Amino acid sequence: MGRVTSVTRNSPKAKKSVAGNRLRGATAEVRPAADGLLDSFLRPYQKRWAWDPARFAIAVKSAQIGYSTATAGWAVRRCLEIPQRNIIFLSRSERQALELSQKAKSWLDYFSISADFLANLPFEGTSALQHEIRFGNGSRIIVLAANPDTARGYTGDVVLDEFAFHKDSQAIFTAVYRQVSLGYAMRILSTPNGQQGKFYELAKQLGLDSGVRPVNQPVRQEKSEVRSQKSEETPIANRQSAIGNPWSGHWCDIFMAVEDGLPLNPEEVRAGCDDDTWLQEYCCQFVSQASEWISPELLQSCVSSDATTQIDSLTHRGIDSMTQSANESIYYAGWDIARNRDLSVIWINELVGDVTWTRGVIEMKNTPTPDQIREARALMPQLNRLVIDKGGMGLVIFEALEREFPGQVEGVQFTQPKKEAMAVMAKRRLEEQKVRLPDSNAVRQSFRSVKKSVNALGLTRFDAEHDARFGHADHWWAFCLAEAAAAQPAAYHLAEVGRLFGSPVISGVKDWVF
């Protein structure tokens, strides 16, 4: 059971019933004040979204401009207006679900409205956690991570936050639509995530996929407009043409938000990210994923809240006290080495059965070589195998560690054939759902940055542009090396993987190939 706390600073739990009675009796007085407070805090684009009376509303929006905060305000206002109302927020991860619940709680703090905030409650029959705000009039805000099971868990108004990044988006939408079909409301908001998924499909129906600011908002389609879209001649589109598209569309990129008073400098934001990130995250453009090696949907399908980039998780698992030999260890690591321009990244996996779980990621920027060696040396007693990029300065590091930890350290020369072999093997592992990745923006950007191209001679290349903030796909290649370290010889054919390792694993075997 989660810990019960009062949203209001001076509302002890013992006075909960009194506070509830006060709320029920004061709803008519609270609502005008709440409306005024929301108006004073929200910018024009947020007000347009929060006050839209449409039953179905969708927003294509820039990152970090306050849409989730405005949606939380909409939910609080709706709970105050309608007794016994459930409003369910489905987020893309448990961490973001907790953040959303805190945003709703902050609105209640501003209003000085008494309610109970219960965090980390178990969702019945699963390992998922939910967070609740319970109002005195019987209404509730329920926030939890999205999946088809949790989507069917409650009946009420539903908000799909960052829906473009949800796993199984079609299944979640189907489950939610069933729950809201009895007259409840549905709100969907997200930044774009490529030209795929249910969010892209809905945005395209309203013309919100072009990256161009609509002339008028909210965007609505009448019967004639839906009927004229010949490319959408599906049973759903045919039904919509008879009644009009029920969705009310909103669109706001970073420039519109700044025009409406958001205190951000778009030029500074642009300087800190690559082109694709800028176009999708801030300019509301659905960038084609044709050249991306790892699609956002594939990556998201492998994200788990139990995977982590935090290296201290290893200590928490008691590895520092382990005394088993290296052959008994279940931890494997890959190291993509850099010194000045890019990030030097060590990726640590735990092998559980045939599934690898990310248990830590070490990033080193502009770190002297001796300091990098010390970081790796401290990990070696905990690892079964470390695979190192031994190109350039990596050769010196590889030779130093290989002498100190014979049989545990292997080196890879990053030629194009070997990069292709590792990229293919890593992608296959992702497609087989044999990988659990952390929910990390740096990881997501690194994986997305890898492009597959074919030159005039027909040779395949896997590469990424240098980025001042996210490096040169350093997390991706460190992950590939860690996957290679953990892979079992029997799991892949020699011709498929190629000559990945330049140092023997088994004593007496020369020029070992996987």
Question: Percentage of the chain with pLDDT > 70?
Answer: 75
- In a shared domain, residues 443 and 356: yes
What is the pLDDT at residue 152?
82
- In a shared domain, residues 30 and 145: yes
Name the domain boundary from 220, 247, 282. Answer: 282
- In a shared domain, residues 171 and 228: yes
Residue 270 and residue 291: Cα distance in Å, rounded?
22
Pick from 140-144, 297-301, 481-485: least confident: 297-301
Residue 260 and residue 62: Cα distance in Å, rounded?
13
Does the residue 504 lie in any domain?
Answer: no
Domain range for 402 is 296-497
What CATH number is associated with residue 358?
3.30.420.240
Whether 96 has a pLDDT exceeding 70, the answer reads: yes
Give me the mean pLDDT over the 280-294 stretch. Answer: 81
Whether 35 has a pLDDT exceeding 80, the answer reads: no
Per-residue pLDDT band for 459 (boundaries 50, 70, 90) equals: low
Does the residue 502 lie in any domain?
Answer: no
Does the residue 60 lie in any domain?
Answer: yes
- In a shared domain, residues 313 and 242: no
What is the pLDDT at residue 150?
77
Name the domain boundary from 231, 253, 282. Answer: 282
Does the residue 508 lie in any domain?
Answer: no
Whether 322 has a pLDDT exceeding 50, the answer reads: no
H or E element in which residue 435 lies: strand 435-436
What is the pLDDT at residue 308?
93
The total of other beta-carbon atoms located within 10 Å of residue 477's CB is: 29
What is the pLDDT at residue 336?
93
> What strand order describes the sheet that includes 343-352?
409-412, 385-389, 331-336, 343-352, 355-365, 435-436
Per-residue pLDDT band for 464 (boundaries 50, 70, 90) equals: confident
- In a shared domain, residues 404 and 303: yes
Does the residue 26 lie in any domain?
Answer: yes
Highest mean pLDDT pick, 171-175, 236-240, 312-316: 171-175
- In a shared domain, residues 220 and 330: no
Whether 79 has a pLDDT exceeding 90, the answer reads: yes
Q: Sign of the C-alpha dihedral, residues 310, 311, 312, 317? A: positive
What is the pLDDT at residue 498?
40
CA 436 to chain centre: 13
What is the pLDDT at residue 251?
97
Does the residue 64 lie in any domain?
Answer: yes
Per-residue pLDDT band for 324 (boundaries 50, 70, 90) equals: very low
Q: Are strands 331-336 and 385-389 parallel, antiparallel or unpaired?
A: parallel
What CATH number is associated with residue 112?
3.40.50
- Residues 143-202 pLDDT 10s: 998 888 777 878 999 999 999 989 888 999 999 999 899 899 999 999 998 888 899 999
- In a shared domain, residues 219 and 149: yes
Does the residue 227 lie in any domain?
Answer: yes
Residue 233 and residue 470: Cα distance in Å, rounded?
42
- In a shared domain, residues 403 and 358: yes
Highest mean pLDDT pick, 145-154, 380-389, 453-462: 380-389
Give CA torsion, residues 95, 97, 99, 100, to 10 deg: 170
- In a shared domain, residues 35 and 82: yes
What is the pLDDT at residue 23?
35
Question: Percentage of the chain with pLDDT > 90?
Answer: 49
Give me the mean pLDDT over the 273-297 stretch. Answer: 82
Whether 31 has a pLDDT exceeding 50, the answer reads: no
Between 18 and 481, name the one with better pLDDT.
481
229 neighbors 237 (Cβ within 8 angstroms): yes
The total number of structural domains that make up the chain? 2
Does the residue 278 lie in any domain?
Answer: yes
Give me the mean pLDDT over the 221-246 stretch. Answer: 53
What is the pLDDT at residue 257?
97
Whether 7 has a pLDDT exceeding 60, the answer reads: no
How is residue 439 written in tokens? 């929910």
- Residues 116-130 pLDDT 10s: 999 888 887 667 789
What is the pLDDT at residue 467?
58
- In a shared domain, residues 181 and 116: yes
Mean pLDDT for all residues in the chain: 79
Q: How far is CA 428 from CA 184, 294, 424, 513, in A?
A: 41, 10, 6, 19
What is the pLDDT at residue 472?
76
Highest mean pLDDT pick, 33-37, 158-162, 504-508: 158-162
H or E element in which residue 289 lies: none
39 neighbors 47 (Cβ within 8 angstroms): yes
- In a shared domain, residues 331 and 409: yes
Pick from 18-32, 82-96, 164-178, 376-390: least confident: 18-32
Give me the mean pLDDT over the 199-225 stretch. Answer: 86
- In a shared domain, residues 336 and 472: yes
* E strand map for 76-199: 86-91, 115-122, 129-135, 140-145, 157-161, 186-190
